[in-house]
């Protein structure tokens, strides 16, 4: 196998694409995992509970 610049460029593009696809799938799975629902619901409403007064 001849490792030219073009070969290494194509290889890095393919593996980079697979890496980003797998990372995106992992983020989506983490987001919609049932045990994380309480954490995300608390983060959604926590900001309003702590900031109920105007800034001074």
Beta-carbon contacts of 7 under 8 Å, excluding residues fewer than 6 positions away, are 1
| Whole-number Å distance between alpha carbons of 13 and 19 | 10
Which pLDDT does position 56 carry in this prediction? 64
What's the pLDDT tens digit per position in 1-55? 688 999 999 999 999 999 999 999 999 999 999 999 999 988 888 777 666 666 6
| Whole-number Å distance between alpha carbons of 43 and 30 | 15
What distances in angstroms separate CA 52 from CA 5, 41, 56, one per listed residue?
59, 18, 12
For residue 28, what are its two tokens? Answer: 């989506």
């Amino acid at each position: 196998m001849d490792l030219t610049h073009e070969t290494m460029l194509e290889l890095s593009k393919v593996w980079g694409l697979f890496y980003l696809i797998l990372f995106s799938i992992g983020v989506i799975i983490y987001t919609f995992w049932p045990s994380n629902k309480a954490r995300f619901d608390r983060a959604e409403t926590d900001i309003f509970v702590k900031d109920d007064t105007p800034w001074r």
